[in-house]
Structure 1
Amino acid sequence: MAARDAQKDESAHRGDGVYFGLMSGTSMDGVDGIAVRFEHGQRPVVLAEAFVGFAQGLREALFSLQQPGENEIERASLAGNALAARYAVCCHELLRAGNLSADEVRAIGAHGQTIRHRPEKGFTVQIQNPALLAELAHIDVIADFRSRDVASGGQGAPLVPAFHATVFGSHEDTRVVCNLGGISNITVLSSTGAVRGFDCGPANALLDLWAERHLGKPYDENGQFAASGNLHQPLLNALLGEPFFEQPPPKSTGRDLFNAQWLDEKLKGFESLTPADVQATLVALTAVSVAREIERHAGDCRAVYVCGGGARNRVLMEALHKALETGGVAGVPVMTTEALGVPPQQVEPLAFAWLAMRCVAREPGNLPAVTGAAGERVLGAIYPR
């Protein structure tokens, strides 16, 4: 018994050290990076953070790969090389900002850019070139976190709830962590220790798309475009008619479903609406779809903590609070994860640094209750420097 406990303790400490986490999400505007120190039994200590934007050409290449097209293999490979170069720049920024040497970093957790997510068909694809990143950064790289979960029958997403549970969970109350990235997802952290999590629907993916189409800007800063319009209830009802919103968890989604073609199809018959009215209705779509899932699966929650790019959108945050009030979860405060000690832009890159640490320690990184996998699995493929 003592030997087994000693072995378990050794395993828990095996991943201690400094890690980088890199996350380029569904919004595809750039890569968020974090340098963090993990020590068993202690809260993660952030040493540095960085953001490196994507050039317009790279963004266009990534957007074009979201749908089938000509010469996909070559275009995906070249985009993966370009991503690795931007990831390497982010790593050098983290080394500089954290006053670190490459030898002090145990591994980089690099998520890559999702271009296909089809767990129902047994695959998910996040392009990048982790071998090239290891060559450029001179640090071990851990990538391809999702495919092992999918191989064991899971959705491969969301993977962040396991991390949320370690840093945000409480035995005193049930709370919800809501990520408003390109896609919205929630993690339900029960006071009993149970964890659930799943994707809710579109968030910045459609909001950014519409802003770029009508403003020529990559996003609607602070929701000003949406605030200038009015919610159109018939359009909102049509958007909410998408069957995904009624699917039970585990479930995950992405640009495979919620893309320009989906939106344009839903807008047929509503051509008289102003672009601002459509944007206001898309804000309501995100807020209502999240609020409905919280009401269904976390009606006893005491607070909702928001992370991701949407946390900076005042209009979206207000819409979420209103949707909860009118949807049967009244009196629940909505705030960012800053209230729990982690700035909202740090949460996802921290999660992938944590997943890299779990891989190094040979500890599982998924939660079968969240993804639907057959069991716990060590996630990630290692590319030595």
Structure 2
Amino acid sequence: MQKLTYNAIGLMSGTSLDGLDIAFCKFQMLPDQKWSWEIIECATKQYPDDIKIRLTKAIHLSGLDLHSLDVDLGRWMGSSVKEFITKKNLTVDFIASHGHTVFHEPENQLTLQIGNPNFLHAVTELPVISDFRTLDIAKGGQGAPLVPIGDALLFHEYDFCINLGGIANLSYENKENKRIAYDICACNILLNTLANSKGLEYDDKGSLAKSGNIIKSLLNEWDDFPYLKKKPPKSLGIEQIEPEILVKIDENKFKVEDMMATAVEHIASQISKTLISAKNEGKALFTGGGAFNSFLIDRIQSKLDHKYELVLGDEKTVNYKEALIFAFLGVLTVRNEWNTLASVTGAHSNSISGQKLGDI
């Protein structure tokens, strides 16, 4: 007989390199066959300087250096989680880890997430579920996005779920009641790169962008990114963003404030167009670090009419929704239930993704 309650830790290491998100979550299957959930404890652990520097260069590392980073990151993740569990005095069923994406090229059937799960398992002495993308890739899918099953089962009261992370992505149910989801455009990868050039981790509330002026020529170049014209299913990786988007940042030619204003306009335009093309009204939940960028949210709202309600999740949900959902993907793996949707990824069938280490 299936368990009805699960206490799991979800781990998320995003492309914006904000740190390792750790969320201890409780999931319960209710009598009406719907799920209740709660993020009980959470924390973001900053990367050690050595690991962060290597992560920023990961796509350019040799095979040996990349493997070394994989091991070191997995060991550090294990130590971070073990410390978190001890400090909070938690009883945990298992850990579900997304890992840190280095390569994502579904057209070549390649995806690589590092943070070696064997070392995570060995250090914590807890069951670990990882590698949620490869099976879908092997079935001809994009291996992304993975969050939509969580949107469908945990956040069904919203018409849209939009995550403003390193990459902005969207999830919604279409007229045929099929879950559709895909990456929209670069988001915090672009904004944080510009903020870093001013010695800032990020642009607090979008104040830097708000002080700048839009550069029309740069906006046109960013809006002309070929990925934006592709039809879903589709997914976006840093190896596409770096040569097509980030390469156009030029401090010798433009002021950082103006490039930031242009980046916000680009992101807001792409997100608003995406919402309008999906449905002509609805309630949209915004999460991820970009949801705290009030200037970006205001620019998105300005491009939509009153039929669209933009909702910001509470602080825990905004910061830890992806970690929460990876914990939930682990629950579905344990229950032997679909956690990767072919309607989203374009694979030839749904999948029960995730490799297990240890007894669950």
Question: For the superposition of Structure 1 and Structure 2, which TM-score range results when normalised by the shorter chain?
Answer: over 0.9
1:231 aligned residue (210, 214, 234): 214
Deviation at 1:39, TM superposition (A): 2.1
Deviation at 1:83, TM superposition (A): 1.8
One-letter code of the match for 2:98? H
Deviation at 1:55, TM superposition (A): 2.1
Corresponding residue for 1:21? 10
Corresponding residue for 2:49? 56
Alignment of 1:206-355 (within 5 A): 206-213=190-197, 215-259=198-242, 261-263=243-245, 265-266=247-248, 272-299=253-280, 301-325=281-305, 330-338=306-314, 343-355=317-329
- The answer on whether the counterparts of 1:35 and 1:47 sit within 8 Å (CA) in structure 2 is yes
- The answer on whether the counterparts of 1:287 and 1:320 sit within 8 Å (CA) in structure 2 is yes
- Give yes or no for the alignment of 1:39 onto 2:15: no
CA distance in 2, matches of 1:98, 1:376: 36
- The answer on whether the counterparts of 1:108 and 1:140 sit within 8 Å (CA) in structure 2 is yes
- The answer on whether the counterparts of 1:182 and 1:205 sit within 8 Å (CA) in structure 2 is yes
CA distance in 1, matches of 2:109, 2:211: 43
One-letter code of the match for 1:35? F
1:187 aligned residue (147, 167, 171): 171
CA distance in 1, matches of 2:269, 2:38: 35
- The answer on whether the counterparts of 1:15 and 1:357 sit within 8 Å (CA) in structure 2 is no
Structure 2's unaligned 5+ residue stretches are none
CA distance in 1, matches of 2:236, 2:350: 21
Could you say if the C-alpha distance between residues 93 and 286 of structure 1 is closer, same or farther in structure 2, counting changes exceeding 3 Å? farther
CA distance in 2, matches of 1:336, 1:89: 32
Q: TM-score, normalised by structure 1?
A: 0.87
- The answer on whether the counterparts of 2:205 and 2:294 sit within 8 Å (CA) in structure 1 is yes
Q: Secondary structure at the match of 1:345?
A: helix
Corresponding residue for 1:120? 107
CA distances 1:60-102 after superposition (whole Å, capped 9, x unpaired): 1011113x34xx22221222223223322432344245432xx
- The answer on whether the counterparts of 2:10 and 2:24 sit within 8 Å (CA) in structure 1 is yes
- The answer on whether the counterparts of 1:84 and 1:128 sit within 8 Å (CA) in structure 2 is yes
Deviation at 1:148, TM superposition (A): 0.6
Could you say if the C-alpha distance between residues 56 and 291 of structure 1 is closer, same or farther in structure 2, counting changes exceeding 3 Å? same
Corresponding residue for 1:205? 189
What's the % identity of the aligned pairs? 29
One-letter code of the match for 1:199? D
Deviation at 1:240, TM superposition (A): 0.5
- The answer on whether the counterparts of 1:169 and 1:189 sit within 8 Å (CA) in structure 2 is no
Q: Secondary structure at the match of 2:72?
A: helix
Deviation at 1:226, TM superposition (A): 1.1
- The answer on whether the counterparts of 2:13 and 2:19 sit within 8 Å (CA) in structure 1 is yes
- Give yes or no for the alignment of 1:177 onto 2:161: yes
Corresponding residue for 1:144? 131
Deviation at 1:14, TM superposition (A): 4.2
CA distance in 2, matches of 1:352, 1:263: 28
One-letter code of the match for 1:88? G
- The answer on whether the counterparts of 1:178 and 1:187 sit within 8 Å (CA) in structure 2 is yes
Corresponding residue for 1:7? none
- The answer on whether the counterparts of 2:105 and 2:237 sit within 8 Å (CA) in structure 1 is no
Length, aligned pairs only: 355
CA distance in 2, matches of 1:97, 1:333: 39
CA distance in 1, matches of 2:308, 2:239: 33
CA distance in 2, matches of 1:264, 1:344: 25
Corresponding residue for 1:3? none
One-letter code of the match for 2:185? G
- The answer on whether the counterparts of 1:169 and 1:193 sit within 8 Å (CA) in structure 2 is no
- The answer on whether the counterparts of 1:84 and 1:133 sit within 8 Å (CA) in structure 2 is yes
- The answer on whether the counterparts of 2:127 and 2:357 sit within 8 Å (CA) in structure 1 is yes
1:374 aligned residue (328, 348, 354): 348
One-letter code of the match for 2:81? C
Q: Secondary structure at the match of 2:349?
A: coil
Q: Secondary structure at the match of 1:32?
A: strand
Corresponding residue for 1:5? none
Deviation at 1:188, TM superposition (A): 1.0
- The answer on whether the counterparts of 2:78 and 2:119 sit within 8 Å (CA) in structure 1 is no
One-letter code of the match for 1:53? Q
Could you say if the C-alpha distance between residues 83 and 249 of structure 1 is closer, same or farther in structure 2, counting changes exceeding 3 Å? same
After the TM superposition, which parts of structure 1 deviate over 6 Å for at least 4 consecutive aligned residues?
Answer: none
Q: Secondary structure at the match of 1:279?
A: helix
Corresponding residue for 2:63? 73
One-letter code of the match for 2:356? I
Q: Secondary structure at the match of 1:378?
A: coil
Corresponding residue for 1:365? 339
CA distance in 2, matches of 1:125, 1:294: 30
Could you say if the C-alpha distance between residues 311 and 202 of structure 1 is closer, same or farther in structure 2, counting changes exceeding 3 Å? same
2:74 aligned residue (64, 68, 84): 84
One-letter code of the match for 2:232? P
CA distance in 2, matches of 1:353, 1:203: 24
Deviation at 1:191, TM superposition (A): 7.9
